[in-house]
Each structure stands twice: as C-alpha cells, then as structure tokens.
Amino acid sequence: MTPVAPSPPEPAGVSTNLAVPSSALAVGAHPDDVEFGCGATLAKWASGGCRVHHLICTDGSKGSWDPNENIAQLVAVRQHEQREAALALGADGEVVFLGQTDGELEATLPLRAELAYWIRRLRPEVVFGHDPWRRYRLHPDHRHAGFLLTDSIVAARDPHFFAEQDAAPHRPSALLLWEADEPNHVEDVAGFVDAKLAALLKHRSQFRSTMGIEDPEATDDVDEFRTRVRQRLTEHGGLAGLPAGEAFRLLKDR
Ligand SMILES: [Zn+2]
C-alpha cells in the first residue's frame, strides 16, 4: 500500500482570497500608501473586473527632503503620480484627494462626514486602509487615516449619521487593513507582483525619501527596492503557505 502524503496544514486562523468584489475603495494617508499596502491585490481584482477607487487623505506636501522644494509643484506632481499609479494597477475608478495638509491629518468629525460621503457615493463592496491599531506606529497620518476610515465606515452605513447628505447609506461587506498588527487574511498575488512594482515606481518623487533610490538612473538602486518589495510579499504569502501574498486584518460586516 502506498502511504498517502499528508496535505500541508492550513495555518491556524488565516483565511485566503476573498471572491473578487464588484468594487473596492482603498484609503491612504499619502500618495503611494495604497500601492505599498494593497497594490497587488487591487491589480488582481481590477483584472478580474472589479472597479477600483483610490482616496488619498493628505496632499503629500511633506514628501521631500529638499528644504527648498517648491511645495505647490510637489503637491501637483504627487497627484499626477498617484493617478499614473492607479492606471498601472489597471484601476478604472475615481482617484479622490481630500487635500489635508501632510503630517497634520486628524480624524475629525468634519472629515468623518466627508469620507462617509465618499463611501456612500462610491458604494465599494470592499474597503482597504491603514490598521490604526498597529503597535509602535510613529507616523500620525497613518494612525489618523486608519481611525478616520473605521469611524467613517460606521457613519456611512446607518441613515441617522450625517442624514443631511445627498447619498444613501452604504454598508461595505468587508474591510481589509494593511500593515496589520495581527494579520488574519492573505490575498494570493502571484502574477501581480510586477503590477504592484510598476505602480510603486510611478511615485518617482518618493524615490529618495521613501524608497531608498538615490539615483533613479542607477539600476542597482531600483533593483534593490524591487527586491525589498518582493521579499515583503514572500513574507506575507508565507503566513498562508503561498509564494507571494499581501497580508491584512480582515473585518467582516456583521
Ligand atoms: Zn504614508
């Protein structure tokens, strides 16, 4: 008798691969956060027919190490880069900019109303954002963007919150938080790693300050960045026994 090889055990408590939703909204603090957090998953879903929207909370005006930077120009460049990055993912939805000052984002009531309005208007089936409960996180914008999103989801789903809004309540079916403190879900992104990298590399103004690419013409610098991103996807995939993945905290509506 031939012994049957045991199938590898499913890692405890980690789910994989939601069904491709009809629409998704990714909410980042800065231009580039969405591509780092969930770019490969968005590319996968876009290729499967999902309408993908971006919403960026701040203007990205602190994203330069040059003290003499022309800030108005930087903001315009970063919006252009974000639109290009969305296209590189295959996203055909809206790219919304709330225009808050970079570094000074707060999860205020007026901003909660604004984001709740966008959730009601775009009506995404699945929403992505920063995990506000990630421990030892220093950047305040990422923490505030996370709380702003979770607070706005609660407001968007019931009719007596911001009842003056000219948009019907909307209840997304799932929320996926990237940079999760305790990930419990992995999306298999095999085949979509290059799309994530291509989208990230559209954020050219961030090469030096965020991506460690001193010289964009030096292929070594760019290759090192690609390797770091690939390593991260390998680590995340490993949580579910996959070669490449993006890990999240999944919260399902109940
Ligand atoms: Zn950021």
Q: What's the pLDDT tens digit per position in 80-106?
A: 999 999 999 999 999 999 999 999 999
- Section 122-144 average pLDDT: 97
d(CA 117, CA 168): 9
Tell me the CA–centroid distance for residue 142 and ligand 1, in Å: 6
**Domain membership flag for residue 187:** yes
- The pLDDT score that the predictor gives to residue 225 is 93
Tell me the CA–centroid distance for residue 38 and ligand 1, in Å: 13
**Domain membership flag for residue 71:** yes
183 Cβ neighbours under 8 A, 6+ residues apart: 14, 236, 239, 247, 248, 249
10 Cβ neighbours under 8 A, 6+ residues apart: 241
Tell me the CA–centroid distance for residue 42 and ligand 1, in Å: 18
Tell me the CA–centroid distance for residue 145 and ligand 1, in Å: 9
d(CA 35, CA 74): 19
- The pLDDT score that the predictor gives to residue 143 is 97
Confidence grade of residue 208 (pLDDT, cut at 50, 70, 90): confident
- The pLDDT score that the predictor gives to residue 5 is 56
Confidence grade of residue 65 (pLDDT, cut at 50, 70, 90): confident
User: Rounded to the nearest 5°, which phi and psi values hold at 56?
Assistant: -115, 125
**Domain membership flag for residue 14:** no
Tell me the CA–centroid distance for residue 159 and ligand 1, in Å: 32
- Section 140-145 average pLDDT: 97
26 Cβ neighbours under 8 A, 6+ residues apart: 34, 37, 38, 42, 52, 53, 54, 55, 127, 128, 129
**Domain membership flag for residue 3:** no
**Domain membership flag for residue 10:** no
Residue 249 or 2, more confident: 249
- The pLDDT score that the predictor gives to residue 111 is 98
**Domain membership flag for residue 47:** yes
- Section 145-171 average pLDDT: 97
Tell me the CA–centroid distance for residue 147 and ligand 1, in Å: 14
- Section 110-122 average pLDDT: 98
pLDDT, one tens digit per residue, over 3-36 is 555 555 555 689 999 999 999 999 999 999 999 9
- The pLDDT score that the predictor gives to residue 110 is 98
Domain that includes residue 194, residue range: 19-252
Beta strands (DSSP E) in 23-130 are: 23-28, 51-58, 95-100, 126-130
* Contact criterion met (CB below 8 Å) for 226 and 199: no
Tell me the CA–centroid distance for residue 121 and ligand 1, in Å: 25
- The pLDDT score that the predictor gives to residue 166 is 96
Tell me the CA–centroid distance for residue 32 and ligand 1, in Å: 7
Tell me the CA–centroid distance for residue 71 and ligand 1, in Å: 17
Tell me the CA–centroid distance for residue 114 and ligand 1, in Å: 20
Tell me the CA–centroid distance for residue 227 and ligand 1, in Å: 20
CATH number of the domain encompassing residue 212: 3.40.50.10320
Confidence grade of residue 254 (pLDDT, cut at 50, 70, 90): low
Instruction: Label residue 68 exposed, middle or buried (CB < 10 Å: 0-12, 13-18, 19+).
Output: exposed
Tell me the CA–centroid distance for residue 29 and ligand 1, in Å: 5
**Domain membership flag for residue 231:** yes
Mean of per-residue pLDDT scores for the chain: 94
Q: Of the candidates 31, 248, 253, which has an alpha carbon nearest to the alpha carbon of residue 124?
A: 253
**Domain membership flag for residue 12:** no
Of the listed ranges 26-40, 114-128, 216-230, the one predicted with least confidence: 216-230
Domains held by the chain: number: 1
